[in-house]
A and B are shown apart, each in its own frame.
Chain A
Amino acid sequence: DAGVIQSPRHEVTEMGQEVTLRCKPISGHNSLFWYRQTMMRGLELLIYFNNNVPIDDSGMPEDRFSAKMPNASFSTLKIQPSEPRDSAVYFCASSFESGPNYEQYFGPGTRLTVT
């Protein structure tokens, strides 16, 4: 299995620009998670999808952030407009929620720098 795939791996953009991060979960997994990691705030859950439906978006910082999951094999996290404080590493993770299986598998992350 290829694991969780994220693109791009690095993104540098200017304040005010739109940024789109992409994620392909592990085939067969039914849940997808977007996290943000910074030195100051640690690991934060932004949004959680189950069967392509957003279940918990309470971690989305503000309306500038939006996430979609149009099908079981693809999700996007969009920031519009971006701000310097959005600079962080963004992780996508997926899991197969069934029985005792709740472990999440993480992608390599997208390092976002907003100047």
Chain B
Amino acid sequence: EIVMTQSPATLSVSPGERATLSCRASQSVSSNLAWYQQKPGQAPRLLIYGASTRATGIPARFSGSASGTEFTLTISSLQSEDFAVYYCQQYNNWPRTFGQGTKVEIK
């Protein structure tokens, strides 16, 4: 089973600042990596798939990148609605696995 490790667990950021979230896979998942956003009491929402492709309707301030088994989600200028928990997920191997999440909170 591929283990997905996200860091940091919590990220404190001021509105308007840049946020950088990391996700590491225990082995290669190619570019088969997705990012999800989850707000309290809501279902997760797909942000990024294929490591760097924004899902339909996702603002351009969200971007994803990859380097080997290291993946990064960048939010260029945090808006109030972006404070949430973010999960990465690999869909290259079975079982599909999620990271433990990064909470982005207001500084």
Same complex origin of A and B: no
